[in-house]
Amino acid sequence: MPVLLGVDDLEPGMVLVNNIYNEFSVLLPHGRKLTEYDISALRRKFPEIMIQVIDPVLDELVEFDDDRHDREVATEVRKNIATVSKKVSQTLRSGVELKGPNVAGIQKVIEEMMDYLENNPVTMAIIEQSNSWSDYLQEHSANVFYLSLVMGNTIRNYVKQERERLSAAKSIHNAMNLTPLATAALFHDIGMTPIEHVYKKQDPLTKEEKQAIRQHPVRGAEMLPEQIDPMVRLVVRCHHENQNGSGYPEGLSGDRINIFARIMRIADAYAAATAAKAYQKAKSALQVLHEMLNGPYRVFYDPVVLKVFASIMQPLPIGAKLRLDSGRWAVVVRHNQGRPFQPDLIVAFDELGDPLTNDQLIGPFPLGQRPDIKVVTFGDEDVSFLNELCNEEAQLEPEQLTQSAGDLLDFVYP
Ligand SMILES: [Fe+2]
Ligand SMILES: [Fe+2]
């Protein structure tokens, strides 16, 4: 199906695999044959974007994973949540408190998006950072909502299956009500609204500004409407608590932190690190996931929820072209669920970027499984560390959830 190309490598006649969005309106629809004009518009608007286009030769030779469904679901949810999140920000900026009538419509959209995600399950979570949004908080809240809910659904489905297995019951509904998680995710950073300027600041933050940031979970919890579910207030308050007790405001640790806050902590860290900010360039999905799973900060996160997260993430998109140490190029053709750093590759292009002939193709094989074929770069990014990660244990073992996350189950069996 696709190869993923930078704008400068596009040529007229290539066919788009996915919709291209400008914020959330479709700029160019999937299936479109690109014209010279389209390409120059893309180059002007999104010089850094990578675009999946159909490669008819490769398409005949190998079956690619089709991630369009997952992409569409992600866009739909993020679009709707960004819209209500914008309303929340506007309300707060105009000095109006969040009260029942203001939030009734918001709660309806939250419920709709929860139903939509439940009825359209995804195999992996995709968030594309737009870089073109004027309002950082709105995009961020939408991304945290989406990632938290995909994780929440994964855990709930597991718990539900396990419960059915243990009790031999036919079907059990409402194994875990995710509404407080969803609501808290949407509102989690409203405490930042009064100090939004710090997102745009390029100079180092002052002591007072740092202090104000540390206050935002408590402040946000206080800004929530009076009648809100107390669990939402709790989760907003705890969304920067760390597993090892190093977080704020309370320095809570382990299972003293509400499970929804532990889920959101991971969604929040990922969404924030992969977004560009005034003071910091966006990190790649690959780098962020690698750091979260293997870096020193992994002690901030609940280890089991982190595995759930790894099981739904695929930082290398289908069609990604990876430079090999031989100078040739491999393309990502399939994802292996639970192994985010080990997609299946096919070596498909020679040193000059020209397609190999049929009999010269190598693969598909999982990245890291061929000692003679090493990846070097993806775009500008050094990805050679992936060659050593082939035994990465991101696989989610059912026993592990049962044993080390007893509290996940306790939460469902009150
Ligand atoms: Fe926050
Ligand atoms: Fe956040």
- CATH number for the domain spanning 49: value is 3.90.105
Question: Do 97 and 4 sit in the same domain of this protein?
Answer: no
Which numbered ligand comes closest to the C-alpha of 240?
Answer: 1
Q: What is the DSSP string of 85-117?
A: HHHHHHHHHTTPPP-HHHHHHHHHHHHHHHHHH
User: Does 40 reside within a domain?
Assistant: yes
In tens, the pLDDT along 166-224 reads 776 555 555 678 999 999 999 999 999 888 887 777 778 888 888 888 999 999 999 99
User: Does 350 reside within a domain?
Assistant: no
Question: Do 189 and 273 sit in the same domain of this protein?
Answer: yes
Give residues whose Cβ lies within 5 Å of ion ligand 2: 189, 268
**Range(s) of the domain holding residue 289:** 68-314
User: Does 144 reside within a domain?
Assistant: yes
Which numbered ligand comes closest to the C-alpha of 141?
Answer: 2
pLDDT at 131: 56
Å from CA of 198 to ligand 2 middle: 13
* Strand pairing class (329-334; 344-349): antiparallel
Å from CA of 105 to ligand 1 middle: 24
pLDDT at 128: 77
User: Does 412 reside within a domain?
Assistant: no
| DSSP alpha helix (H) spans, 62-206 | 68-93, 100-119, 136-167, 179-187, 197-200
Which numbered ligand comes closest to the C-alpha of 218?
Answer: 1
pLDDT at 407: 46
Q: Which of 314, 347, 371 is the last residue of a domain?
A: 314
User: Does 297 reside within a domain?
Assistant: yes
Question: Do 287 and 231 sit in the same domain of this protein?
Answer: yes
Which numbered ligand comes closest to the C-alpha of 148?
Answer: 2
Which numbered ligand comes closest to the C-alpha of 277?
Answer: 2
34 close to 7: Cβ distance less than 8 angstroms:
no
DSSP structure class, residue 14: -
Q: How far apart are CA 148 and CA 236, in angstroms?
A: 13
Question: Do 173 and 212 sit in the same domain of this protein?
Answer: yes
Question: Do 35 and 97 sit in the same domain of this protein?
Answer: no
Å from CA of 188 to ligand 2 middle: 6
Question: Do 109 and 156 sit in the same domain of this protein?
Answer: yes
Q: How far apart are CA 20 and CA 72, in angstroms?
A: 11
Question: Do 47 and 117 sit in the same domain of this protein?
Answer: no
Question: Do 132 and 218 sit in the same domain of this protein?
Answer: yes
Which numbered ligand comes closest to the C-alpha of 137?
Answer: 2
Which residues of the chain are modeled with pLDDT < 50? 392-394, 402-414
234's tokens: 């709790």
pLDDT at 134: 63
**What element of type H or E holds 364?**
strand 362-366
pLDDT at 244: 93
Looking at the 3D structure of the chain, how many domains does it have? Answer: 2
User: Does 7 reside within a domain?
Assistant: yes
User: Does 264 reside within a domain?
Assistant: yes
Question: Do 154 and 247 sit in the same domain of this protein?
Answer: yes
Question: Do 172 and 210 sit in the same domain of this protein?
Answer: yes
Question: Do 103 and 150 sit in the same domain of this protein?
Answer: yes
In tens, the pLDDT along 38-77 reads 899 888 888 777 888 887 767 777 777 888 889 889 989 9
User: Does 272 reside within a domain?
Assistant: yes
Q: What is the model's pTM?
A: 0.87
Å from CA of 410 to ligand 1 middle: 27
Helices (H) and strands (E) in the chain, counts: 14, 10
* CATH classification at residue 270: 1.10.3210.10
Q: Which of 280, 298, 314 is the last residue of a domain?
A: 314
Question: Do 27 and 175 sit in the same domain of this protein?
Answer: no
Q: Which of 259, 286, 314 is the last residue of a domain?
A: 314
DSSP structure class, residue 176: S
Å from CA of 78 to ligand 1 middle: 18
Which numbered ligand comes closest to the C-alpha of 267?
Answer: 2
Which numbered ligand comes closest to the C-alpha of 239?
Answer: 1
Å from CA of 173 to ligand 2 middle: 30
